[in-house]
Amino acid sequence: MLGQSGNEKLRPQQGSLWNGLPEIGPERGRARRHEEKGRSNVFLAVMPDQPAAMQAWEAGQELGHRHGLSHAMRPRETLHVTLNPIGSYLTLSETDVFTVSEVMSSLRGAPFEVSFDRVASFAHGERRLMVLCNAIRSEELMDLHVQLAKEMWAAGMTFTYNPRFMPHMTLSYGETEIPETVLAEPVRWMVREVVLVHSLVGESRYEYLGRWPLCDDAG
């Protein structure tokens, strides 16, 4: 399942995806970040299909055993790639969910393939995330990230555009950094929809508040 540690350039410690975003005034939304202190987080994401989720989970588990990691893997059904955070809530805002749904109804874009070819560590505060990623950033995911940020900003919602956005799938949280390891076989799947996820902090489960398919208008 796993290959050898790679020498390709990959940022080993990824800072906050929300650093350096400008504030744009009360008439528009402003950048917010996920807060673990909140009871729930809401974000837009793409989800792997079942075979890709299983492959990713098994790769992470094997690598964890190889390096003697004690922290548990995330549940397979929660594996995802975050596109744009919406906010953190003590009480879920139905108004925000409605606004996001309105924005997403105009989503445009054709399905595309995502490929992650390595496992690495990203820094997240004092923790180290074991993530699935790629040394070459997916332009399709970046384009989708930018499109959604622009649409959310226009609707007065939070915006999360970041030119350093590095798509990744978090496999586990811990304190130990692992060496970058190239997979013998990349994890691939076709992205066919964007999902609005309600994550209940500390419960390792998601509620899906909406799904919007990617459709090729040319067809």
pLDDT tens readout for residues 103-147 = 999 888 899 999 999 999 887 777 788 999 999 999 999 999 999
- 189 and 51 Cβ atoms separated by less than 8 Å: yes
Total-model pTM: 0.79
Q: Closest Cα to residue 201, out of 29, 43, 32, 84? A: 43
DSSP per-residue codes, 99-158: HHHHHHTT--B--EEEEEEEEEEEEETTEEEEEEE-SS--HHHHHHHHHHHHHHHHTTS-
Q: What angle do CA 39, 43, 179 make, to 5 degrees?
A: 95
* Distance in angstroms (rounded) separating the CA atoms of residues 190 and 48: 8
68 conformational bin, left if phi > 0, alpha if psi -120 to 50, beta if neither: left
pLDDT tens readout for residues 150-203 = 999 999 886 667 778 889 999 988 778 889 999 999 999 999 999 999 998 777
- Which has more confidence, 203 or 80? 80
Q: Closest Cα to residue 73, out of 87, 88, 55? A: 55
Domains and CATH numbers, the chain: 2-6+39-213 (3.90.1140.10)
- Which has more confidence, 72 or 211? 211
